[in-house]
Structure 1
């Protein structure tokens, strides 16, 4: 019965994360990470729960993000030139993010995840109807440095960088639908190299759940993608016909709620 309950939770995570991935150009990590974290914590993996959640989320995003990106690509919405411009910074940022994640504990990763969720959730909530700030994307080396910072943060959060990159592109005068589609295509690149990094930094950890390779849990991954791969393209299909500002506002509220819960746990731990 317990295994059935876990499987049901993971399948539900896949539905929610996959649909959000396609709908808003995210990798689904904003759903996967907290969901996996609380499941792992419930079953006694306290010290490394966040690392396993982040690593497994990145592994899942490889496939969920690719499914979402391909759906956007078929609609002709992915800006391939813009995508190529992001990649040098993505590779640099993922490497730095992996090294940092390996050097810190679960509490720090929780703070990074929650603080980032609060920042980007608040931005999405408050600026959802506002226009761009800059006329074009920045020149080099600023483009690469900003892309690297976004990828570094995304790696430590276990997300595809969709919120950061959509925000970055829209304030630089990229249309919202093109930004969402291009961000969806960036996510799998972050996820592939991020997952490899979390596999490596978790190799020496002996307190891992069954079916784990480093900080990648294959059982959770396999269950989640059963539904996320189906619902990611569905989200992408309806993204161009739904009111994106209202959806962003609703999702930003969800992000803030999760972040506040995580931070409250951190403060509670410090007060003990």
Structure 2
């Protein structure tokens, strides 16, 4: 619950920060085919830290709430890209089982891992993804064709697993996977929006189950999903996501990738500092 002594100006500042994060995440959902969780999770975590939410569930609620928000933003992003006919539906069909299976395993891990462990996972993945985005080169390739099964299924499982632990829609990881095998960036972005749907829906259900009945949860939470956070962010992200889709089809994304990669490196450093500083 919000502490009674907290000044209204501070509450307003936090609300404005969360609203700004929602706008940024919505644009990212369209531009990169991601749900914006990499932006939302650290913002939610800092807000809940300031509001005195129990440290033992703080990171779990940040991740679970992010996944709940990703459900409609990924759906809307996927709809926009699918209308343009650039989604790789064959790859998505191949991911129908392995990605949700990875999500299931991740929720089982989330049910037992500590807040510190979840923060460490986020920091490590953010570091790896941030480095990849910041130093990415279009010439980097592992092949000219996406590998078939069982490698394709294994990669889908890993994308679902790591994305759910991090509270993201899997777009950056799937973008990397597809681009390393020669797929056009626009197709990778569009397909990643569909991957986000496969992650966010079962992930939200899983985090609700994982945190069900925990006495340390903040007010208006169902399991590890806080509906106040969802209600604040959701309208904004749904409003701005179509703008991100238009940006994705109208400009080069190298500068955006560099900026987003730098942001992830800063977030990773912040979480490492909170653990070991």
TM-score range, shorter chain: over 0.9
Consecutive unaligned residues in structure 1, runs of 5 or more: none
Partner of 2:39: 31
Q: Report the counterpart of residue 51 of structure 2 in structure 1.
A: 43
For 1:205 and 1:6, the matched residues in 2 are separated by 25
* Aligned residue in 2 for 1:264: 273
After superposition, the C-alpha distances for 1:123-149 in whole angstroms (9 at most, x for unaligned) are 122223324221211121111111101
TM-score, structure 2 as length reference: 0.94
For residue 214 of structure 1, what is the aligned residue in structure 2? 223
Aligned to 1:182: 191
| Counterpart-to-counterpart distance in 1, 2:141 and 2:83 | 26
Alpha-carbon distance between aligned partners in 2 of 1:91 and 1:24, rounded to the nearest angstrom: 21
Secondary structure of the residue aligned to 1:4 is helix
Distance 1:222 1:119 in 2: 31
Equivalent pair of 1:24/1:180 in contact (CA under 8 Å): yes
Q: Matched residues in 1 for 2:230 and 2:129: separation?
A: 26
1:244 and 1:114 map into 2 onto residues whose CA distance is: 24
2:99 aligned residue:
90
Q: Distance in 2 between matches of 1:9 and 1:125?
A: 25
Cα deviation for residue 3 of structure 1 reads 4.4
Show CA shifts across 1:103-127 (max 9, x none): 1011111111110011011112222
Q: Give the CA deviation at 1:6.
A: 3.5
Residues 128, 248 of structure 1: 8 Å contact kept: no
- Compute the displacement of 1:169 (Å): 0.8
Contact 1:129 1:245 in 2 (8 A): no
Residues 43-82 of structure 1 show CA distances to partners (whole Å, capped at 9, x for unaligned) of 1122211000000000000011111111111121211112
Q: How does 1:62-101 map to 2 (within 5 A)?
A: 62-101=71-110
TM-score, length of structure 1 as denominator length:
0.95
Q: Could you list the per-position Cα deviations for residues 165-189 of structure 1 after superposition, in whole angstroms to 9, with x for gaps in the alignment? A: 1101111121111001100111022
- The correspondence of residues 234-253 of structure 1 with structure 2, limited to 5 A, is 234-253=243-262
- What corresponds to 2:175 in structure 1? 166
Structure 2: 5+ residue runs without aligned partners? 1-7
Whole-angstrom CA distance in 1 between matches of 2:210 and 2:121: 18
Distance 1:131 1:162 in 2: 18
Q: 2:203 is matched with which residue?
A: 194
Q: CA deviation at 1:240?
A: 1.3
Report deviation, 1:27: 1.0
| Alignment RMSD | 1.2
Counting matched residue pairs gives 268
Structure 1 contact 93–152 (Cα < 8 Å) conserved: yes
Looking at structure 2, the residues matched to 11 and 188 of structure 1 have their Cα atoms a distance apart, in angstroms, of: 22
Residues 1:255 and 2:264 are matched in the alignment: yes
Alignment correspondent of 1:150: 159
Q: 1:245 offset after TM fit, Å?
A: 1.7
